Copies of this chain bind each other. A is one copy, B any other.
Amino acid sequence: MTMRTDTASGPSLEALYGEVQHFYARHMQLLDSGAAEEWARGFTEDGAFWAPTLPEPARGRAVLAGGVRKTAAELAEAGETHRHLISMLSVTPEEDGSLRVRSYAQVIATAKGGEPRLYRMCVCDDVLVRDGGELLISERRVTRDDMP
């Protein structure tokens, strides 16, 4: 309700825009540094993540953090760094106070001693909600441009 009031007018939506961008910057820096639990706290308790390689969505912070820990260990083993660059965010406030956010996600992979390469090009469709002033992801749907 508070959010609807906040974002009913253009300027307030635009003020919100920086906040949403900032949220993604911190969220993805946590992911790329392997801070699995802190990254997972960017989701609601029962947050759901649909990824193109998963048969069903990953659900809940513990499951989400577990996936990131596994990937971080594999990358460390391989001596590779991944960076998630979120850009071109479009933000749509919904009636219920949530925000739909569509963005582009480049994943850039760099091996020690190697050239960086553009590993994935994705579109990320999130639903963000407010919890005690903070933005949290309740749903994330990722699609990859290389997959049908």
Binding site for B on A (CB under 8 A): 10-11, 13-19, 21-22, 24-26, 28-29, 81, 83-91, 102-104, 106, 108, 110-121, 133, 145-148
A90 and B114 alpha carbons, distance in the complex (Å): 27
Q: Give chain B residues whose Cβ lies under 8 Å from the Cβ of A29.
A: 88, 90, 102
Inter-subunit contact A116/B114 (CB<8 Å)? no
Query: Do B24 and A15 have beta carbons less than 8 Å apart?
Result: no
Question: CB distance A14 to B15 under 8 Å?
Answer: yes
CA distance A22 to B121 in the complex (A): 20
Within the complex, which residue of B26, B104, B146 is in contact with A90, where a contact is CB–CB below 8 Å? B26
Number of copies: 3
Closest B residue, CB atoms, query A18:
B17
- Least distance between A116 CB and chain B CB atoms (Å): 4
Contact A117 B114, beta carbon cutoff 8 Å: no
- Out of B22, B24, B146, which one reaches A91, CB within 8 Å? B22
Contact A17 B10 (CB under 8 A): no
Identify A24's interface contact among B24, B88, B111, B121, CB under 8 A.
B88
Q: Which of chain B's residues have a CB closer than 8 A to the CB of A22?
A: 13-14, 17, 89-91
Subset of 7 A-B contacts with CB under 8 Å:
A14-B18, A17-B18, A22-B90, A83-B88, A87-B87, A108-B145, A116-B118
Contacts of A81 in B (CB 8 A): 121, 145
